[in-house]
A = this chain, B = another copy of it.
């Protein structure tokens, strides 16, 4: 029963949307139940190590426990839990059975279960973030940076409300996501770095440890330093929940940025727009019945994963509330936290692959731009007219666009014919007059800003 075909699993994370994609397997290391127990055992070992430093037990005892802890496997803990009905006591018993009579008393000494559980989870989330989440995000960030720079001068019609607006460049659009992702990567780094541990005992007042140490907080610090963590400013049976809440918020809001990017890419692949394409293999099928279809399935997947994982923030907010020195109603829900990390990783790795092979269709970008070329003139015209003193420039130009639309005429011609505008137009300088004829130059500082954003984040995130 313990060995199982992955397709007998319920969760898509366990058979389909692997956080590591096809390339590697994160499960045993960080996000699986096996990993959870490995970290718990590691934390138990660290506790005895510090006890030995403090002289409560010998170094041999600490070595013995460390060795035993390193050998524990999930199966035996679960087997033991059937008797104790208590997971951490089961783990402690498993370790104790593997060590000498002398060492046994020091396993879990002065600790309550959640000293171990909260510390182990903070450590685990911190490490998976450092080892995988951030590196994977940086890889994607680099793909986006390259794309942004490559297309920094490619004119793209800007779209607000789905309507053609002023032009930008394709690279500038991508740079927006470079910026937002950079910001979220920093947020993830920061909040993961602030995840805390504890060794303050059953109700947080160091009741047990103060029997042995004059400064039990110092003892807690030593223990956590051993693991590379800091202590929560205050704890009850559990660490103050806001550290984890902030961390998950940073993950969920990062997923939101990726969902926005994917939505944009989906829409840019619409048949009528067709400005980008996902890479499509020769054997790939778009539809089981429409052989000609080429669907943006990867971007759709990202949006869909966001819909699945974003609402889980509600669970995290609910878990901020724990009665008195704690109730256990965050226990089951807390075990689902690794799924959120896995969901984000799955999405990031997918996007990395897709973005590295994205095709930008320059011909269509130009075609789409040209569709509104004539109308784009409306904005600079209105502003220039205003700058030369026209008191109602916006309304004047709006009226002309209505006429252009109604009579199917080109706005530029109407402008030139208009007697009222003449005195203002004559004041336009050369460059300004030119702009009315070459609206593709009306992209502001899109290219320069693209470069600036990429440079800024390259430096800030230590990328080359």
Contact = CB atoms under 8 A, between A and B. Distances in A.
Interface string A169-185: 10011011011101110
Interface stretch (A137-145, A355-363, A395-403): A395-403
Given A205-B166, A313-B313, A267 B324 contact: yes
A461 interface: no
A307 interface: yes
Interface in A319-370: 319-336, 338-339, 342, 368
A420 interface: no
Interface stretch (A62-70, A221-229, A238-246): A238-246
A168 B205 contact: yes
A259 B319 CA distance: 11
A158 interface: yes
Interface string A210-223: 11100011000000
A120 interface: no
Interface string A196-218: 00001111111111111000110
A37 interface: yes
Contacts of A75: 5, 7
A443 to B, nearest CB: 6
Contacts of A459: none
A9 B8 contact: no
Contact of A31 (B10, B89, B241, B368): B10
A157 B216 CA distance: 21
A413 interface: no
B293 A165 contact: yes
A284 to B, nearest CB: 4
Interface residues of A, number: 206
B320 A256 contact: yes
Given A10-B31, A260-B322, A398-B291, A160 B203 contact: yes
A54 B237 CA distance: 58
A203 B158 contact: yes
A401 B168 CA distance: 34
A165 B208 CA distance: 12
Given A269-B162, A390-B105, A112 B398 contact: no
A34 interface: yes
A383 interface: yes
Contact of A2 (B7, B200, B405): B7
A154 B301 CA distance: 32
Contact of A208 (B84, B335, B379): B379
B317 A333 contact: no
Contact of A449 (B205, B260, B269, B442): B205
Contact of A271 (B164, B166, B252): B164
Contact of A333 (B86, B307, B319, B322): B307
Interface string A428-464: 0000100100000011111001000100100000000
Interface string A286-305: 11111111111100110111
A48 interface: no
The 3 A-B residue pairs with the shortest CB-CB distance, nearest first, are: A11-B11, A158-B203, A311-B314
Given A187-B242, A207-B380, 16 more contacts: A7-B32, A7-B33, A12-B332, A158-B202, A158-B204, A158-B325, A162-B266, A162-B296, A168-B203, A202-B289, A289-B394, A291-B400, A292-B401, A300-B331, A304-B332, A310-B317
